[in-house]
Structure 1
Amino acid sequence: MERNPNSGKWSRGGIEENILAILDAFETRDTQDANDDRIAFLEAVRAASVGEEHSTRPTCKIFKAVFRILKVGKSIELIVASYKLLIELEKRFPRVYLSNSDKSESSNNPLELVVVNEAWSPFLFTSEHATSDKKAADIHLSGPLDSSSFLALIQCLAEVTDRGSFQALDVKSLANMLLFQYLVNFLEGDFLPRCATTSWNLQRESLLNMLLGYRKIYKGLMQDCLIVICNLCELHTGLRNHLRSIENSGPMLSKKYQPVAIALLEVGKNTCVSMQKFLMMIMELDILKRKADMEGYTTRADGVRTPLVEIILDELTYSKDTLSPFLQVFNEPKWKLEIIVQYFWKYITKTSVRTRKSNEYCDNATFAGVLKRFSNSTSTKTIIKKIGSEVVQLLLAHGFLAQLSLLSEGHPAEGISSPKEGSNSDLVDLCRNIISAFDSLITADKNVEILSVGKEAVFTAATFISY
């Protein structure tokens, strides 16, 4: 497999013709020799594209071949190797990036967005893909994915991460999780540089926005994503039990299945991180679109899409069994706090004080504003009646921990007075308010049993106050 160093491109008579031979044999042969050839192919691509100082971007055929190995590979070695190579290639040859038009290092010119349109993409969105159902459920095709096939991938993840399906976890489960991680990584590489431009015209052309543009599957896709992230909360426990059962079943069975389970234990954790990234990107996109709409940059072609935060709130509200696992897994403090505050605000009675200049409520939708509603037993009883003591505890405890994280990162606590000489700091005010909220909860509901997460929050708050 050789490359023409003079042209700086892959030799058309060399590696690409060999790829076709490899792909032809891929479906018919699953021998060790065939797998060795595929591993050798991946190593050759890495050496030619990543290993050299002045390497060039592989052709789309090269990317497609590596992508196909990830999707239909039948060994852990092949799947992991192809995934790592795709990540390395994306980092080395991004399809979208910011560049200074003035190449001098001292230039202060603003960065410009560069999009390599002819570069490989694992996604393909055309005017026909939304109406074609022939390929909707097939995520094993060698080519790029559209919205329907991406939905099918998420549905597969939801099925294999279900608490009752741990015995069904296999190499294909591993491949699907790594495939999802790669796709999120690619979406992120396309989306983040566009966000830095502050141009809605460039942001609306992001692959993420196009992926979500098929309205018929959007809400179902988001609901399935929530199922996956909640299921992944139980994945570690289930897999550990699965590993124990394999070890107890005998050395022969353990040797055969244990590597897959161990690999899935780590891959499941990383899939959870990727799912969180995916959801956060969508919520950021919702904000960008809302801002563009307020400034008059959107058109009818942008369509109408329910903000993801609203979908999450609906799912957590009407399926309370998902609330605890979601709050355990979703740990990005900014968006976690936003979801918790909005959850409370759906049920908190808003006392409006209107003036001649404002028709808005005097209370801000902040976590500090929520805590003020627990300042007496009467308002606390009202909230408990609407939400329930257990849900209130979960929201207060996780909201407190999220606000702590933001304070530790240097973000001010919204709705809490800035620290002044002789007064309490944001941190102490927050801790006192959360303790007061739990005290009010106990006073309002004599039979309430404080959950472990609530006890942890109160203990943490008391510890900070004592310093």
Structure 2
Amino acid sequence: MENPSCNERWKRAGIEDNMLLTMFDASDTNQDAVDERIAFLDAVRASSIGLERGKPPTSKIFGAIFHMLRTGKSLQLIVASYKLLVDLEKHFPRAYLSGVDDSLSSSNSPRKLVVAEEAWSPLILYLDNATAVSETGDKQSGGPLDPSSFHVLIGELVESLTESEIQAASVKNLLLFQYLVIVLEGDFIPRNATMNWSLQRESLLNVLLGSRKTNYKSLMKDCVEVICVLCQLLQNDLSKKFEVEKSSESQSSKNCHAGLSLALLEVLKNARVSMKKLLVMIMALDMSRKKADIEGHTSRADSPRTPLVDIVLDELAYSKDTVPHFLKIFSEPKWKLEIVVQYLWKYITKPSARTRRSSGCTEDATFDGALKCFSNKNGTKSIIKKIGGDVVQLLLAHGFQAQLSILSETNANDNIGGGREEGGSALVDLCQAFISAFDSLKSTDRDMEILSIGKEALFTAATAISMKS
């Protein structure tokens, strides 16, 4: 009897008919089983992304692919299912703004948010689906995640990344986390661009964070810990962090583990980027929520939630060793400056109204205002005593870099509008205030050694002043 190829069998019987075997038979320890599942993934890709007018897969097929990602044991199958899910998410966006590329539309006309209401989601966040998730998803370890399962995933990342060795399952969880962030980002970014709180409120991200099935503060603390641990791992030698498991496994399985050790570095880098994206989205959501609250657009349904920046500040204050790692990762000037400014003003002594003029430190809660506070020796000594000289240097250096980036971008726009001289004056003022702050630090604590990042920032400031003079 003729034995047709895998692709021919999928085509004849139909993907839908064969999908259930892939979904419930999680045994992929032999190469034949892996080949069957790879053929299934190839067929899905060809029938959706590969066609000019391809349609998105059904929810059952999406669920089967997601099941492979969560339960697969083969590196080849895990990566293939992850890549297909990511490509499907990009090819069939669950939310987008209409008219973005329409050159005929008026630039002032509001763009309409289009949401694929029936789109399959790896996250089940609403009450009417909670029972189904708890009864099927968690038991099978391959169904969509609810908020508590998402929190468990982050907790497992914390545990696995802090162990002496990283296991194969940890790499799978890292890929799973990256895919979930892509889903959250694809839904949140278009909603956030509308500046409409009613649309932002319904985002997957907001529903996830507001769920009663998870401890929000605990989740955020775990996220901060994950991103700091990832930064530490990427700075160290990873050759001993992941070791091939020694057992009587098949040769294909041993090759899988060898491949994992080679791919670990890239997986960790991408996971760090994904965690940063998640935290930035949450900060943007907090800002939109605050703006909506001021404008009176919130309701009782918008239960109060501690802003992520406040949680980050508490974590950095509790463990000062994480400050350099966290600030190094947050490259976005806007959010880095926000964290630095709030951290500094948390420990800057607020003078009384009677002495405010003489102290030189006003209630100007900006980075420029913080720099001015270092002109007072007593204030400088107080800050050093509270948070340490090295932490102060890190905050000032990173804050200067962020402010410089923002100012440079503003100056570039002003050059087009003719405001070049004013921008140059602001740049010189910033550099002079920064150098003066470091002079105050050094004169207050003569034993203080200037960190390398502080030296680089001082050199940049001095160079900028000489170029403008």
Distance 2:131 2:49 in 1: 39
Determine the structure 1 residue equivalent to 2:197: 200
Distance 1:459 1:58 in 2: 56
Distance 2:48 2:176 in 1: 21
Determine the structure 1 residue equivalent to 2:337: 337
Distance 1:139 1:439 in 2: 61
Determine the structure 2 residue equivalent to 1:85: 84
Determine the structure 2 residue equivalent to 1:402: 402
Is the contact made by 2:435 and 2:461 (CA closer than 8 Å) also made in structure 1?
yes
Greater CA drift, 330-339 or 426-435:
426-435
One-letter code of the match for 2:40?
F
Q: 2:181 aligns with which of 174, 179, 184?
A: 184
Equivalent positions of 1:285-364 (< 5 A) are 285-351=285-351, 363-364=363-364
Equivalent positions of 1:113-262 (< 5 A) are 113-127=113-127, 138=138, 141-162=141-162, 165-167=163-165, 169-215=166-212, 216-242=214-240, 257-262=257-262
Distance 1:12 1:444 in 2: 80
* Structure 1 residue runs without a partner (length 5+): 4-9, 247-251, 355-360
Distance 1:409 1:49 in 2: 41
> How many residues matched?
441
1:47/1:272 CA distance change after superposition, 3 Å? same
One-letter code of the match for 2:225?
I
Q: Deviations over 1:173-202 (max 9, x none)?
A: 221111111111111110111112222111
Residue 380 of structure 1 pairs with residue 377 of structure 2: no
3-state DSSP of counterpart to 2:127: coil
3-state DSSP of counterpart to 2:240: helix
3-state DSSP of counterpart to 1:409: helix
One-letter code of the match for 1:121?
S
3-state DSSP of counterpart to 2:410: coil
One-letter code of the match for 1:388?
G
Is the contact made by 1:333 and 1:405 (CA closer than 8 Å) also made in structure 2?
yes
Distance 1:277 1:408 in 2: 23
Distance 1:410 1:254 in 2: 54
Is the contact made by 1:170 and 1:260 (CA closer than 8 Å) also made in structure 2?
no
1:202/1:90 CA distance change after superposition, 3 Å? same
Determine the structure 1 residue equivalent to 2:69: 70
1:437/1:412 CA distance change after superposition, 3 Å? farther
3-state DSSP of counterpart to 1:301: coil
Distance 1:271 1:244 in 2: 16
One-letter code of the match for 1:202?
L
3-state DSSP of counterpart to 2:393: helix
Shift of 1:342: 0.2
Distance 1:446 1:364 in 2: 28
One-letter code of the match for 1:113?
L
1:49/1:197 CA distance change after superposition, 3 Å? same
Residue 58 of structure 1 pairs with residue 52 of structure 2: no
Q: Deviations over 1:139-159 (max 9, x none)?
A: 972221111000011011111
Is the contact made by 1:327 and 1:398 (CA closer than 8 Å) also made in structure 2?
yes
Shift of 1:314: 0.8
Distance 2:57 2:254 in 1: 40
Is the contact made by 1:431 and 1:464 (CA closer than 8 Å) also made in structure 2?
yes
Normalised by the length of structure 2, the TM-score is 0.85
One-letter code of the match for 2:97?
L
Determine the structure 2 residue equivalent to 1:393: 393
Is the contact made by 1:139 and 1:149 (CA closer than 8 Å) also made in structure 2?
no
Distance 1:144 1:244 in 2: 28
Distance 2:446 2:222 in 1: 38
Shift of 1:136: 12
Distance 2:466 2:139 in 1: 56
Q: Deviations over 1:253-279 (max 9, x none)?
A: 997754212211011011111101100
3-state DSSP of counterpart to 1:144: coil
Shift of 1:454: 1.8
Greater CA drift, 395-404 or 255-264:
255-264
Distance 1:68 1:455 in 2: 51
Distance 1:16 1:255 in 2: 31
3-state DSSP of counterpart to 2:90: helix
Determine the structure 2 residue equivalent to 1:38: 37
1:254/1:409 CA distance change after superposition, 3 Å? farther
Is the contact made by 1:223 and 1:315 (CA closer than 8 Å) also made in structure 2?
yes
Is the contact made by 1:239 and 1:265 (CA closer than 8 Å) also made in structure 2?
no
3-state DSSP of counterpart to 1:425: helix
3-state DSSP of counterpart to 1:94: coil
Normalised by the length of structure 1, the TM-score is 0.85
1:302/1:390 CA distance change after superposition, 3 Å? same
1:123/1:64 CA distance change after superposition, 3 Å? same
The alignment's C-alpha RMSD in Å is 3.3
Distance 2:129 2:278 in 1: 22
Instruction: Give me the identity figure in percent.
Output: 56
One-letter code of the match for 1:236?
L
1:446/1:206 CA distance change after superposition, 3 Å? same
Distance 1:260 1:107 in 2: 49
Distance 2:352 2:419 in 1: 28
Displaced runs of 4+ in structure 1, greater than 4 A?
A: 10-13, 128-140, 243-246, 252-258, 351-354, 418-424
Is the contact made by 2:167 and 2:242 (CA closer than 8 Å) also made in structure 1?
no
Q: Deviations over 1:113-170 (max 9, x none)?
A: 11211111111113278899968995972221111000011011111222xx242x13
Q: Deviations over 1:287-334 (max 9, x none)?
A: 111111111111111111001011111111122122121112222211
Return the structure number with greater helix share.
2
One-letter code of the match for 2:284?
E
One-letter code of the match for 1:229?
I
Determine the structure 2 residue equivalent to 1:21: 21
Determine the structure 1 residue equivalent to 2:358: none
Distance 1:406 1:47 in 2: 45
Is the contact made by 2:188 and 2:203 (CA closer than 8 Å) also made in structure 1?
yes
* Structure 2 residue runs without a partner (length 5+): 1-5, 245-250, 355-360
Residue 107 of structure 1 pairs with residue 89 of structure 2: no
One-letter code of the match for 2:452?
S
Distance 1:401 1:235 in 2: 24
3-state DSSP of counterpart to 1:111: coil
Determine the structure 2 residue equivalent to 1:358: none
